[in-house]
Amino acid sequence: MNTLVIVRGLPGAGKTTFAHALNVQKYGGKALVVAADDFMVNDEGEYDYDRERLSHVHSRCQIAAGEALAERRDVIVHNTFTRPSEFNPYLKMVKPTQKVLIFDLFDAGLTDEQLTARNVHDVPLASVTKMRARYSPPPQPQIPVHVEGDYAYWQFPEADWLILKE
């Protein structure tokens, strides 16, 4: 049974690091690891944020994930997903024979200033603060929660996150 893994969190929380580590540790490096940021590159292959292209890059990310799921591959999607409605298109791709896991890193126990300093795409402090304000929290309690069927929802407290980073 293949799996769709959603990794959500604020910029700088460690989504990319977590997604790639999970791929190696759980899926032997064979899962598709994809984010909208992967498609936000210029002709030279450098990251180039363009707000006008947000819808397009998210569509490309969804298409890549959908194609891999259709091929019965494991898929790890790591985006901010500040609201559940932002990852719902991915959930709609999942067949009854496939599994979904959602890892919510939120802020990894960091302040907005720390997240701003850590994020690799130079997301400004004001944007990180706005994202935090609109971030829909996971259901309570936060560690680990079985939501329904094969759907699982996780929130990592700072102590666990520090262990995962090593």
Please give the domain boundaries of the chain with CATH numbers for all domains: 3-165 (3.40.50.300)
pLDDT digits (tens, 9 = 90+) for 69-92: 999 999 999 999 998 889 889 988
Alpha helices in the chain (DSSP H): 15-27, 54-70, 84-91, 112-118, 125-134, 158-165
Place of tokens 């994930």: 65
pLDDT digits (tens, 9 = 90+) for 21-61: 999 989 999 999 999 999 988 889 888 888 898 999 999 99
Residues paired with 47 in a beta bridge:
41
- pTM for the whole structure: 0.82
pLDDT digits (tens, 9 = 90+) for 1-10: 899 999 999 9
46 SS3 class? coil
Give the pLDDT band of residue 138 (cuts 50, 70, 90).
Answer: low
pLDDT at residue 150 is higher than 90: no
HSE-CB at 58 with a 13 A cutoff on CA atoms is 14
Q: How many CB atoms lie within 10 A of CB 64?
A: 17
